[in-house]
Structure 1
């Protein structure tokens, strides 16, 4: 999401277009709200609501990680969380009114790249401020690279304080990124969606532990059991999800009887081979949200190429119970765009409706009550739709997928990372139904919401503006 760098009042904002301190302006006279420069779908009251100016987020250098989002939603607390682009300030707004609920000022870092995430636990929602930068090097201390984690309770008020602050030293030759779900975060280098070594952070306790690749024995691997190298992909409430690829005692060219297995393990709870659909030897963990894990399954490919969602082989996209592995909903899809399936690649586009009845992830949506899914992937005559949000009635929204030569557009489930936020010239948008599976093109240049609350409020963002509009 885009960074917010201007302070907003309830129902108003600084309309000057400048880059004021995000906590400034609480006493000045209210200005007219900054309006979105593009239309939004029917059903949202654009003449009311609140808005503020915004700046583009930093592009992540590690495709497949959770990147550096500067806006997040705490749904149960009813908050929009804003982080300044330089990581110097965090502000929590009431989703419905735009009123500032609390602010947080972290320790000073320079050359900062920052991201903000919201995680849910037994003690409630926690806001996780993750930053990369350098210490000041004041006094006798030398400047050094670091990654810091600050955890703030979402139900804070006024000037919030961090319940936990972690300072993780970063070697000069290491590019660190963040891999976050709504129940866990890993900090460390990312290659093809997995970590060779990372630090797992427990937002509830502040406890950190090192997780790294390990050798595990997997049953149901090929014709029996096999020892594989499992690499951490992302953290969840059921433990770290690790991905593995069988390389020994199987035919990597998929020409023999013993097919290689590509799978994953969820903490100590379950392994992909115990829940794989019939004849599916390739399982990729795409995302986690709430009590669910989203995966992709298909028959064995040659292990020299990454698995892909293509038009030559059907792929099953499934929603599993995170604690047991039981499949709650699934759909079989193909795609004319040949999108790479990578651990964690759909995390940024995976959303539950507030009531928990519907789930969208990448280009697929699911009605969890019925177990049915719908594909919004490309065909020879239609374009794919990257889904961004889903409401309690099953109405979902998305961006029409545009294929170019960048890794971001060839990676399944990753929302466009562009300097224009979600709205980039040439991107069309659509509204779809999770109940019927139908899709409808929206008017040209229409912006789609990134979140729709249970009361109908929609969160929208372009390059310059973030706005929240109530249902009309």
Structure 2
């Protein structure tokens, strides 16, 4: 099933479209250490009063709306929301306080190298610190005699900047090929830049250093037959997690392999792995002896240790897409599409479709262990009708919410973030938690 969340990084991150309003003004300083923009407190409640789950105060909060559509991202450790909007041929980022909507800082305008595509916006969290990243891919340079060169241009911003023309702390350009449309993604604790099928580059957002990997030379540990088709599945702070989908094998060379960490119910020859939120990995195996279930698990990325696992009904139509995931700000709870996990108690729950129950997809989870998502009521995951649901992980039993309630796409720093549209106008609405 396809998650409505875009993955992400190593925290509870949501990327989407919105129309942005408001903005900062004040002293210009490209280093981000100049005059702080004036405070823009939001004193009135958002105009669309949404039906939301109990626990949020809809009489307060703030919103973004308008005709100028942009992209947004959550910076949970910084207690902030970031937006990227266009002005003519240039783009810029704006970071707002999550609780008040106040503009903390705005970035320098930058040029998009892509033609007809919006630049990418990614958040990577390393060591409890958020890093905001913009990227684009396209031609740069060239003149009457020389051809332009294809590059990935990546800018890394510190989440705690100040000023109204903040420059990136790292600007990195990586050569690209003249074909392909691979996206820069958060692969765990580093960014992954897909130069070609055989060459991938990891970017350390804290230092700006890059590491190139030749996938033909990467080895999948514990798999002597994995001679081709190897790829980087995820990135830890130091090492790549290498997988071979055809052979059902994965691990970190010289450290661990999935045969040694697979749960007892799993067939170790059928493994698959994806980056999860934070330092976690999401793994899946088929059940032993051609059983009717899959075995899903959350792993520690560095050691491969199983942090929680659960038997899960096999879907009638599987998917090879990377599952989205979200982590509660305190790091205890994780959701990944049909999975909901209490990492503290090492309990995992699966809500894949069965003969008696409808499939559930979770997109956010709070520090209190309340997971929010949707139930597919009719149709399929792409075109079907959904209904809102809530899962208290302490109980492990989901609850249907009122049909007109909207569930938060994120919950952090004492607020819930909701999306809404009226006509052709999109809204991003933020409500504080009660109390």
Q: Same fold (TM over 0.5)?
A: yes
**Inter-CA distance 36–199: structure 2 relative to 1 (3 Å threshold):** farther
**1:90 counterpart residue number:** 93
Does residue 1:175 correspond to 2:181, yes or no?
yes
1:6 and 2:6 aligned: no
Distance in 1 separating the partners of 2:363 and 2:40: 35
Aligned counterpart, 1:253: none
Give the corresponding residue for 1:205: 207
Structure 2, gaps ≥5 residues long: 1-14, 25-36
- Do the aligned partners of 2:242 and 2:252 also contact (CA within 8 Å) in 1? yes
**1:377 aligned to 344, 352, 365, which one?**
352
- Residue 28 of structure 1, CA deviation: 10
1:335/1:218 CA distance change after superposition, 3 Å: closer
Q: Which residue does the alignment assign to 1:39?
A: 51
SS at match of 2:16: coil
Question: Relative to structure 1, is the Cα distance of residues 202 and 70 closer, same or farther in structure 2, using a 3 angstrom cutoff?
Answer: same
**Counterparts of 1:402 and 1:145, CA distance in 2:** 45
| TM-score of the two chains, using structure 2 as the length reference | 0.80
Among candidates 124, 130, 134, match of residue 125 of structure 1: 130
Taking a change above 3 Å as real, the CA distance of residues 36 and 284 of structure 1, as seen in their structure-2 partners, is farther
**Does residue 274 in structure 1 map to residue 288 in structure 2?**
no
Is structure 2 residue 405 aligned with structure 1 residue 459?
A: no
What does 1:19-30 correspond to in 2, within 5 Å? none
| Paired position in structure 1 for 2:5 | none
Cα offset, 1:104, TM superposition: 0.8
CA contact (8 A) 2:332 2:367 kept: yes
Q: CA RMSD in A?
A: 3.4
Aligned residue in 1 for 2:273:
285
Question: Which structure is higher in RCO with an 8 Å CA cutoff and minimum separation 6?
Answer: 2
Q: Which secondary structure state, in structure 2, belongs to the residue aligned with residue 274 of structure 1?
A: helix
1:102/1:297 Cα in 2 relative to 1: closer, same or farther (>3 Å)? same
Name segments (4+ residues, structure 1) moved above 4 Å: 25-34, 54-57, 133-145, 215-221, 299-302, 402-405
CA distance in 2 between counterparts of 1:462 and 1:133 reads 33
**1:398-409 pair list within 5 angstroms:** 398-401=373-376, 409=381
Over 3 Å counting, the alpha-carbon distance change for 1:383 and 1:185 in structure 2 is same
Pair 226,144 (structure 1): closer, same or farther in 2 beyond 3 Å: closer
Compute the TM-score of the two structures, normalised by the length of structure 1: 0.74
Displacement after TM superposition at 1:454 (Å): 4.8
**Residue 387 of structure 1 contacts residue 398 of structure 1 at CA under 8 Å; is this kept in 2?**
yes
Which blocks of at least 5 consecutive residues in structure 1 are unaligned?
A: 11-24, 58-68, 247-260, 303-311, 410-415, 417-423
Q: Deviations over 1:247-285 (max 9, x none)?
A: xxxxxxxxxxxxxx4021236432212212234321111
Q: 1:329/1:55 Cα in 2 relative to 1: closer, same or farther (>3 Å)?
A: farther
Report the Cα distance in structure 2 between the residues aligned to 1:147 and 1:355, rounded to whole angstroms.
Answer: 33
Aligned to 2:30: none
Describe the superposition over 1:349-406 as per-residue Cα deviations: whole angstroms up to 9, x where unpaired.
311212222111121111112211111211223321111111111110012247867x
1:88 and 1:444 mapped to 2: Cα distance? Answer: 38
Partner in structure 1 of residue 396 of structure 2: 437
SS at match of 1:76: helix
